């Protein structure tokens, strides 16, 4: 009975320890780490005592290991010539990151699990594209990521930079509406960002009212002018013919 209570107590203590990242070299919480494709990333341990051996794993596969009997760290495929292990701290640097490097990692220092990581490998952000539509009252500007970009879309956040208070109220929204009566000479900017970088694109609001819409007003005005002119000509001819017929009847009399 006492053994059962002791076991539950030990499990409870371990559960609490798992919530702390650096308690007696135990970390049950995986830390998110972000790296960019073709760049490098370093996974930092919490080691603070002399290290006798180091083992880094990706899931259950070995990445690199070292102990006091080895002259230098031994890396395993596909990490050969792509990693650097600091044997003093246990920190691991991975070079020339690829999407296949994305996975869960953990390190053992002196045969004790130290820290767990979840590595996310992200493609460099592209420039967003802006397009807009307008109504009689509003101009709606939309910020879009190119369709061929699909690297961790869920990590991307949106922000806007413009003169309007409506921009400030559009927190993490991919579109914003501006009153049509606003100063259309102003520029509006969309910023996309992820944990590693940001990109921005901008446009002038006046470009949201396309030339063809202005041309359409000219065309409508021209059509109206032609219609009015035709009516004037028709009325003139009708009155002229009417007057001519009355003169003919007068002359006949």
Q: Which helix (H) or strand (E) holds 176?
A: strand 175-179
- pTM given for the model: 0.67
Q: Encode pLDDT of 35-84 as tens digits.
A: 999 999 999 988 667 788 999 999 999 999 999 888 899 999 999 999 99
Q: Encode pLDDT of 137-194 as tens digits.
A: 888 999 999 999 999 999 999 999 887 776 766 677 899 888 877 788 889 999 999 9
d(CA 154, CA 195): 11
d(CA 43, CA 117): 8
What domains does the chain contain, in order, with CATH numbers?
31-122 (2.60.40.10), 129-208 (2.60.40.10)
Closest Cα to residue 125, out of 90, 153, 167? 153
């Amino acid at each position: 009975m006492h053994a059962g209570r002791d076991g539950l107590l030990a499990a409870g203590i371990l559960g609490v320890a798992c919530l702390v990242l650096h308690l007696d070299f135990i970390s049950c919480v995986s830390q998110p780490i972000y790296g960019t494709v073709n760049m490098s990333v370093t996974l930092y341990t919490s080691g603070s005592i002399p290290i006798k051996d180091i083992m880094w794993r990706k899931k259950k596969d070995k990445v690199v290991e070292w102990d006091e009997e080895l002259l230098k760290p031994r890396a395993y495929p596909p990490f050969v010539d792509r990693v650097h292990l600091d044997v003093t701290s246990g920190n691991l640097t991975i070079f020339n990151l690829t999407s296949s490097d994305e996975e869960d990692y953990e390190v053992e220092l002196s045969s004790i699990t130290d820290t767990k990581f979840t590595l996310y490998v992200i493609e460099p952000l592209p420039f967003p594209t802006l397009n807009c539509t307008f109504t009689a009252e509003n101009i709606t500007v939309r910020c879009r990521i190119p369709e061929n970009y699909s690297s961790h879309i869920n990590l991307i956040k949106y922000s806007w930079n413009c003169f309007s208070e409506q921009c400030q109220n559009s927190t993490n929204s991919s579109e914003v509406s501006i009153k049509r009566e606003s100063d259309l000479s102003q520029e509006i900017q969309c910023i996309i960002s992820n944990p590693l970088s940001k990109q921005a694109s901008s446009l002038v609001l006046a470009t949201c009212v396309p030339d063809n819409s202005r041309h359409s007003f000219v065309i409508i005005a021209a059509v109206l002018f032609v219609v009015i002119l035709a009516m004037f000509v028709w009325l003139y001819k009708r009155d002229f013919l009417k007057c001519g017929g009355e003169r003919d009847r007068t002359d006949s009399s």
